């Protein structure tokens, strides 16, 4: 029989898988698979003959990180650990033994290099049910563990789209540059671009006009004069000293007998 859980793939892949001792208080950013697809208890530790206070529930997180889960396996305790896989040995909340009958193993891969990853995990109560778009990794306590795989989006795709938009932008804008240095071509013949390329430069019109003489500036009681003004005042001072007053002229004539 076929059973569809959801036709929509989650937006983010699973970045970590674990086991917890209780589904009542979930860890931050973790989702606990507390029930099977038909609503039954998804306890992975329970025994069919004897009641036990020990419980184990599978959990996972989609919190973005450097790694993603790309594969999962369920093996016997005596089997060798599959190459590239990690054994979930302890519970995340109490650090106790995770599972007692079988061993849950996951394989991580850097997100930047992963083409596909695990996006969802479900547990079914009856093995005769087949979940659409899901793969079964095995059974434990008459329950099947299923996972769904999807493609991993990469940032390179968005960067390529942004580059395409920039290349499609109109190029008929006229730019005027003044005094821009010429760039040398590399030995391969390609143009060397810099961060200042295509930035318009210009000189303000006020710098083209040179004032005929500097204006007087009073800074903290000090008057700043131009060289011409200083020379003119010095010249006037010298002429004033050379011209004697009338009384001095008469005295000079009397002494000289003029």
CA distance 115 to 119: 13
Q: Enumerate residues 6+ apart whose C-beta is below 8 A from 142.
A: 48, 125, 126, 127
130/218 same-domain check? no
Strands (E), the chain: 2-3, 16-20, 30-32, 57-61, 67-76, 86-87, 102-110, 116-124, 130-131, 135-140, 143-151, 217-219, 222-224
> Structural domain of residue 119, as residue ranges?
8-155
34/104 same-domain check? yes
**How many structural domains comprise the chain?**
2
**SS3 readout for 16-50:** EEEEECCCCCCCCCEEECCECCCCCECCCCCCCCC
| Cβ contact 149:135 at 8 Å | yes
> Is there a domain that residue 129 lies in?
yes
60/147 same-domain check? yes
43/129 same-domain check? yes
pLDDT under 50 in the chain at which residues? 1-4, 157-158, 171-191, 210-214, 252, 254-256, 258
> Is there a domain that residue 25 lies in?
yes
CA distance 35 to 64: 25
pLDDT for the residue 232: 81
DSSP 173: -
State the Cα angle at 162 between 199 and 172, rounded to 5°.
Answer: 45
> Is there a domain that residue 206 lies in?
no
Paired sense of beta strands 130-131 and 2-3, if any: parallel
> Is there a domain that residue 161 lies in?
no
Give the residues across from 116 on adjacent strands.
151
pLDDT for the residue 138: 92
Output the CA–CA distances (angstroms, integers) from residue 81 to 74, 85, 132, in the order listed: 10, 7, 29
> Is there a domain that residue 250 lies in?
yes
> Is there a domain that residue 3 lies in?
no
| Cβ contact 122:60 at 8 Å | no
């Amino acid at each position: 029989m076929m059973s569809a859980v959801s036709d929509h793939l989650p937006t983010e892949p699973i970045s970590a898988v674990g086991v917890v001792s209780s589904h009542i208080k979930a860890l931050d950013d973790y989702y606990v698979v507390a029930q099977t697809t038909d609503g039954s208890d998804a306890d992975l530790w329970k025994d069919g003959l004897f009641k036990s206070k020990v419980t184990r529930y599978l959990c996972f997180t989609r919190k973005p990180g450097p790694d993603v889960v790309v594969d999962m396996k369920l093996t016997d305790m005596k089997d060798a650990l599959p190459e590239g896989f990690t054994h979930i040995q302890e519970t995340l909340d109490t650090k106790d033994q995770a599972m007692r009958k079988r061993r849950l193993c996951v394989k991580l891969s850097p997100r930047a290099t992963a083409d596909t990853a695990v996006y969802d995990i479900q547990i079914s109560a009856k093995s005769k049910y087949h979940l659409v778009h899901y793969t079964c990794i095995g059974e434990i306590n008459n329950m099947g563990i299923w996972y769904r795989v999807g493609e991993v989006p990469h940032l390179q795709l968005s960067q390529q789209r942004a580059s395409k938009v920039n290349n499609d932008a109109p190029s008929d804008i006229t730019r005027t540059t003044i005094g821009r240095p010429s760039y040398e071509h590399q030995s391969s013949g390609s143009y060397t671009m810099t961060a200042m390329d295509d930035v318009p430069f210009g000189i303000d019109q006020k710098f083209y006009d040179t004032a005929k003489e500097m204006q007087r500036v009073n800074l903290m009681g000090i008057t700043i004069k131009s060289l011409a003004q200083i020379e003119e005042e010095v010249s006037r001072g010298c002429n004033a000293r050379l011209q004697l007053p009338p009384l001095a002229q008469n005295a000079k004539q009397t002494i000289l007998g003029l």
